[in-house]
Chain A
Amino acid sequence: MSNATDMQGQNERIKLTAARTGVYIFMVLVAILCLFPFYLLIINASRSNAELQAGFTMIPSSNFLTNLKTAWNDTSLIAIPKGLLNSFVIAASCCLLCTYFSALTAYGIHVYDFKGKKIAFNFIMVVMMIPTQVSAVGFIQLVSKVGLMNTYWPLIIPSIASPAVFFYMKQNIESTMPLEIIEAARVDGANEFFTFNAIALPMLKPALAVQMIFAFVQSWNNFFTPALIISKKDKSTVPIMLALLRSEMNSRNGDLGEIYMFILLSIVPVVLVYIALSKFIIKGVTMGGVKG
């Protein structure tokens, strides 16, 4: 009898080990699928044009720094250092404005009682799903009417009204901020703005950090609207430059090593931030994505 249960237990264990092995193999395959394109990118960015033309290899070559220098200094088609700077200025501004004002709005709706508060909240929830593209025609007309084409204002200012970030902040405030603390600040005679900036904001630090990363990345990667607003070369952001590079590649064959380096440079900032803060980011996805 005990022998039979032993056998059964052993069978069960073998089955479990087999299942586990299968899952690990699947995970390794999926991970390779995710990493391989980037591995190829790094390898190819280290090879000279002649080496790239000659054939495929998975071993890095010695031309990384040469390619980096060429890509960095070549301004004949795109000026990547300028592009990185432009993209950074826009993304950094967006990330600060977006998180600050989303928190401010969420705080305003959570803490104060005023007429139309429910309507304001429901309004934001309803407009959350409207894609930016559907209002692009009107937006472009408005921007050119007020003479802001080829400036960064139309790319930065709209981030003040980010419904999705507002929603995230609202949920976070609800679960982390007791109204008693705000009451206490009032008793101490603090001004309402001061209360928000000095007491509420520090309590929201983790949520702010997560959303700052997302806001930065979203702006950094944004292509549709900037491509419609910016037409001057020296104002271009990285995605616009990549698009230009792509359309040029139809007609002429440039230095392939340099092109791989351009691509690498355009994703490096985000990848570095991600490697440093990935734990944070993945938690943020889980918290923000599924309601309650």
Chain B
Amino acid sequence: MSNNKRKSISYAKWGYIFIAPFFIVFIFCSLIPLVSTFYNSFFENYRDGLTQVGPNFVGLENYKKLFTPDNSGNIQVIDYTVNTMIMWVMGAIPQLVVALLLAIFFTANRLNIKGQAFFKTVIYMPNLIMASAFSMLFFTLFSNVGPINQIISSMTGEVYDFFGKTVSVRSLVAFVNFLMWFGNTTILLMAGIMGIDQSLFEAASIDGATSTQVLFKITLPLLMPIIVYVAITALIGGLQMFDVPQILTAGHGNPNRTSMTLVMYLNNYISTSKNFGMGGAISAIMFVITGALSFVVYKSLVTDDSPKKKVKKSKGAELL
């Protein structure tokens, strides 16, 4: 193709034609809305009952308002970010631990675990279930008249109000998220472990390394880039947490807004009060956080090969 320059030049227009739909749609459905969201954040623009206020240019007023303590002295946007992070961590830690354990068990040749295909099918399924339906199911199961409380009250004589207590609501949100995502993480980590050079394991076993040594000196260090990748993408997903707490608490973030997430807050501004100025400001903040995290992911992907190989070599040399 390179020695036929005229031909490749004449085909260039097809490249533009083929990628045009993607870019046109992206510009109209994502880029322009994104820019206009930021633009909105500098305007006062909301519905007060039936009257429309604004849009009036107010500069950074919306951002200031966002970080001003309310009557009870709380800065809501910070509280909701903290809520989101607490619920994310409560789900993400068991998710990573269980996924890592399963991935290690499944890839251990010595153990030779059977029935993996079936098991993977089972643990991945929750990932495809509608989060809204999942949350609705958990609401009905854990509600005051639900089966879980029927068991509890038959044993203790009392009903445990799962949706009236901060700990239990947050735990339920975290548990649903854990259940939905640990299968996915397991499969990714398994792919990561199987991507490790097999000769390293062979060399280690010839040298008489125990399985614990192999785990801590070969598998985990070489898996680190993928664990980091999985953790950060999960964090980006966690920041967008919405469906589960929204449905579980019917959008209220009960009790006392302790399970209100950042996106639920954004959703309230857009759909309930039509406050596009404040909504824009929250979006801009989320964009910056996500951007910073994505940059870390991008870096880890781009420079993936070199440190990985370095680690591989040094560890291999050490063992040999």
Contact = CB atoms under 8 A, between A and B. Distances in A.
A178 to B, nearest CB: 12
Given A108-B15, A250-B250, A242 B132 contact: yes
A266 B236 CA distance: 27
Interface residues of A, number: 98
Contacts of B216: none
B78 interface: no
A179 B25 contact: no
Interface string A18-61: 01100110110011011101001100100000000101100000
A138 B290 contact: no
Interface string B225-255: 0100100000010011011001100110000
Contacts of B263: 133, 224
A166 interface: yes
B290 A134 contact: yes
Contacts of A23: 105, 111, 113
A139 interface: yes
B16 A161 contact: no
A161 B29 contact: yes
A34 B34 contact: no
B15 A112 contact: yes
A126 B141 CA distance: 41
A282 B18 contact: no
A285 B124 contact: yes
A120 B130 contact: no
B57 interface: no
Interface stretch (B68-76, B200-208, B293-301, B310-318): B293-301
Most interface-central of A109, A224, A271 (chain B CB within 10 A): A224
A127 interface: yes
Most interface-central of B8, B243, B263, B266 (chain A CB within 10 A): B243
B287 interface: yes
A125 B298 contact: yes
Contacts of B286: 131, 133-134
A85 B15 CA distance: 37
What is the predominant secondary structure among interface residues of chain A facing chain B? helix
A56 B151 contact: yes
Contacts of B229: 290
Given A133-B263, A142-B32, A281 B140 contact: no
A95 interface: no
8 contacts: A56-B151, A104-B18, A112-B11, A125-B298, A136-B266, A160-B22, A192-B14, A285-B187
Interface of B: 1, 8, 11-19, 21-23, 25-26, 28-30, 32-37, 39-40, 98, 101-102, 105, 110-113, 115, 117, 119-126, 128-141, 143, 145, 147, 150-151, 154, 179, 183-184, 187-188, 190-192, 195, 226, 229, 236, 239-240, 242-243, 246-247, 250-251, 263, 266-267, 270-271, 276, 279-280, 283-284, 286-287, 290-291, 293-294, 297-298, 301, 304-305
Given A40-B147, A126-B298, 9 more contacts: A20-B112, A37-B179, A112-B14, A133-B283, A224-B267, A238-B132, A239-B130, A242-B247, A250-B250
